[in-house]
Amino acid sequence: MSKSTIESLKEALSFSPDNTALRLHLAQTLKEHNQLEEAKDHYQIILKTENNASAKYGLASVYYTMEEYATCNIILEELLAEGKETFDVLLLRAKALSKEGAIPEAIEIYQKVIAKNPSYRDEELDEQLRLPNSFVEGEDDASDLAFLQKPAITFEQVGGMDAVKKEIDLKIIQPLQHPEIYKAYGKKIGGGILLYGPPGCGKTFLAKATAGQVKADFVSVSLNDILDMWIGNSEKNLHEIFELARINKPSVLFFDEIDALGASRSDMKQSASKTLINQFLQELDGMQSDNDGVLIIGATNTPWHLDTAFRRPGRFDRIIFIPPPDQEARKAIFQLKLAEKPKEGINYDTLAKKTKEYSGADIEAIIDIAIEGKLEESIKKGVPTPLTTKDLLSAIKKHKATTAEWFTSAKNFALYANESGMYDDILAHLNIKK
Ligand SMILES: Nc1ncnc2c1ncn2[C@@H]1O[C@H](COP(=O)(O)OP(=O)(O)OP(=O)(O)O)[C@@H](O)[C@H]1O
Ligand SMILES: [Mg+2]
């Protein structure tokens, strides 16, 4: 359509401004020509006088194109509440939810889209929602999701963190190795521990090392992956993952990003999510099946988003704060990560001193930066030139510490939502007196 079409539509509308169909047509045409502000105005004029579903959908799609996803979602929510579950409305809703990062809900809606038109696939949505191929092929297999490994690392490779290692040893390793002693005192074995703390500080690494420490199998699964399976049969998958860990015991069953599942149950309107959470809690309780010999470890950056049901006795009732590495730990991390690299006279104490508030992941990034700086020189010379303390110090200047940001929000939860002293460790770390 050309510009003149727009002009003639406008002219026609000036003669009959109450003609809704005409105004809708104009708004639609404007939208197609990417004249979004004007299109928006016309949709809004219609909506001022009548509750018109096409105008609402049109307005929502304008907001979507303008990347104002929150507003788009509000309008779509209204439409759905009014029972306007058309293919277009649902599809736009799935896309807008996905853009807002509401992945589980987006998947739920996308499922309805596909139910309306089974041959329809939206490539971008498929990608964003990371739908596993198994779904497309109509089969779901937990082994796609859970990875069974025998970690080679042990506590020795974990720098510092002595207190945390000791806690893990007492709380989960000893009970696994001496069940009779624990039972004699009537102490319950089982349940899980929850590791929480700022990103990149070794939660995943430590969970893996725990498995290595007891020579157990390590079953690692990202909760976001399970949620992606909603569209398939995620309850069954979850059950199979637990079974995989039970069959291979002793084993460490590690759930990463556990907040993805726990994100306060009331927020999740869809019933599928509730079933999944209940399934998870049931597996955790080990009602029908025996979790003896299975160490369950969860990890999260945002424990405050976790439903309190997860923290009941026998579930994730032991909660361990994984702080940023202290000076000693940073030294150890530098030593570990540089062990196999060409280097010369490294002063590890200096590096550790200069990296306060840096995470283990930050330290890896620093080493990476230093190596990149070395590559050019080495290629010129034809031999790898060794890394020096100076190289690493200048790399430190190029990479900002990432843990401080986490503490800004964590501090608020620790101060104002510190149920039963759950976050005392955060306060202690920040030197805040209760
Ligand atoms: N104490 C440590 N000793 C040795 N390496 C460490 C230590 N802490 C972190 N690292 C290194 O930093 C990297 C990042 O750590 P990890 O992935 O375990 O962090 P995380 O706490 O799980 O982060 P996220 O919250 O982002 O998942 C690891 O690959 C590991 O090599
Ligand atoms: Mg991790």
Secondary structure string (H, E, C) spanning the chain:
CCHHHHHHHHHHHHHCCCCHHHHHHHHHHHHHCCCHHHHHHHHHHHHHHCCCHHHHHHHHHHHHHCCCHHHHHHHHHHHHHCCCCCHHHHHHHHHHHHHCCCHHHHHHHHHHHHHHCCCCCCHHHHHHCCCCHHHHCCCCCHHHCCEEECCCCCHHHCCCCHHHHHHHHHHHHHHHHCHHHHHHCCCCCCCEEEEECCCCCCHHHHHHHHHHHCCCEEEEEEHHHHHHHHHCCHHHHHHHHHHHHHHCCCEEEEEECCHHHHECHHHCCCHHHHHHHHHHHHHHHCCCCCCCCEEEEEEECCHHHECHHHHCCCCCCEEEECCCCCHHHHHHHHHHHHCCCCECCCCHHHHHHCCCCCCHHHHHHHHHHHHHHHHHHHHHHCCCCCECHHHHHHHHHHCCCCHHHHHHHHHHHHHHCCHHHCCHHHHHHCCCCC
175 lines ligand 1 (CB under 6 A): no
- What is the pLDDT averaged over residues 174-198? 81
Report the predicted TM-score, pTM, of the whole model to 2 decimal places: 0.66
CB-CB contact of 106 with 137 (8 Å):
no
354 has pLDDT over 60: yes
203 lines ligand 1 (CB under 6 A): yes
Least confident of 96-105, 196-205, 384-393: 96-105
Q: How confident is the model at residue 60 (pLDDT cuts 50, 70, 90)?
A: very high
Q: What is the pLDDT of residue 142?
A: 45
Ligand 2 centroid–CA 381 distance in Å is: 38
Ligand 2 centroid–CA 328 distance in Å is: 21
Q: Is 147 left (phi over 0), alpha (psi -120 to 50) or beta?
A: beta
298 lines ligand 1 (CB under 6 A): no
Tokens of 295: 């160490």
Rounded Cα–Cα distance for residues 190 and 286 (Å): 9
Rounded Cα–Cα distance for residues 245 and 193 (Å): 16
Q: What is the pLDDT of residues 273-284, one digit of tens each?
A: 677 788 888 888
142 lines ligand 1 (CB under 6 A): no
Which of 168, 201, 327 has the most ligand 1 atoms within 8 A of CB, as the residue to mutate? 201
Instruction: Tell me how far CA of residue 30 lies from CA of 37, 51, 250, in angstroms.
Output: 9, 21, 64
Q: How confident is the model at residue 163 (pLDDT cuts 50, 70, 90)?
A: confident
Q: How confident is the model at residue 134 (pLDDT cuts 50, 70, 90)?
A: very low
Place of tokens 């190596």: 371
Rounded Cα–Cα distance for residues 68 and 57 (Å): 14
* Nearest-10 Cα torsion for 335, 336, 338, 339: 100
267 has pLDDT over 70: no
Q: How confident is the model at residue 246 (pLDDT cuts 50, 70, 90)?
A: confident
Q: How confident is the model at residue 191 (pLDDT cuts 50, 70, 90)?
A: low
158 lines ligand 1 (CB under 6 A): yes
Nearest ligand 1 atom to the CA of 257 is 27
Q: What is the pLDDT of residues 62-77, one digit of tens each?
A: 999 999 999 999 999 9
Nearest ligand 1 atom to the CA of 300 is 25
Nearest ligand 1 atom to the CA of 161 is 1
316 has pLDDT over 90: no
Which of 195, 204, 336, 341 has the most ligand 1 atoms within 8 A of CB, as the residue to mutate? 204
237 lines ligand 1 (CB under 6 A): no
360 lines ligand 1 (CB under 6 A): yes
Least confident of 70-74, 91-95, 180-184, 196-200: 180-184
Q: Whose CA is nearest to atom 6 of ligand 1?
A: 360
Other residues' Cβ atoms within 10 Å of the Cβ of residue 58: 23
Q: Is 233 left (phi over 0), alpha (psi -120 to 50) or beta?
A: beta
159 lines ligand 1 (CB under 6 A): yes
Ligand 1 centroid–CA 138 distance in Å is: 36
Q: What is the pLDDT of residue 57?
A: 96
1 has pLDDT over 70: no
324 lines ligand 1 (CB under 6 A): no
CB-CB contact of 206 with 194 (8 Å):
no
Q: What is the pLDDT of residue 132?
A: 43
Tokens of 206: 């430590």
Look over the chain and give the mean of its residue pLDDT values, rounded to a whole number: 84
Q: Which of 342, 332, 339 is nearest to 388 (CA)?
A: 342
Q: Whose CA is nearest to atom 8 of ligand 1?
A: 202
Q: What is the pLDDT of residue 333?
A: 93
CB-CB contact of 282 with 238 (8 Å):
no
Q: What is the pLDDT of residues 40-52, one digit of tens each?
A: 999 999 999 999 9
Q: What is the pLDDT of residue 421?
A: 83
- What is the pLDDT averaged over residues 305-326? 86
| Residue 166 or 266, more confident | 166
- What is the pLDDT averaged over residues 141-163? 75
Q: What is the pLDDT of residue 70?
A: 92
Rounded Cα–Cα distance for residues 416 and 431 (Å): 16
Q: Whose CA is nearest to atom 24 of ligand 1?
A: 199
Ligand 2 centroid–CA 432 distance in Å is: 27
301 lines ligand 1 (CB under 6 A): yes
199 lines ligand 1 (CB under 6 A): yes
- Integer-rounded Cα radius of gyration of the chain: 27
Q: What is the pLDDT of residues 394-430, one digit of tens each?
A: 999 999 999 999 999 899 888 888 877 888 999 999 8
321 has pLDDT over 80: yes
Ligand 2 centroid–CA 97 distance in Å is: 25
- Protein residues placing their CB within 5 Å of the ion ligand 2: 203-204
Give the number of C-alpha atoms closer than 13 A to the C-alpha of residue 336, restricted to the C-beta side.
19
High-pLDDT (> 70) share of the chain, %: 88
- What is the pLDDT averaged over residues 221-239? 68
Question: Which structural domains are found in the chain, ordered by start?
Answer: 3-136 (1.25.40.10), 142-321 (3.40.50.300), 327-398 (1.10.8.60)
141 has pLDDT over 50: no
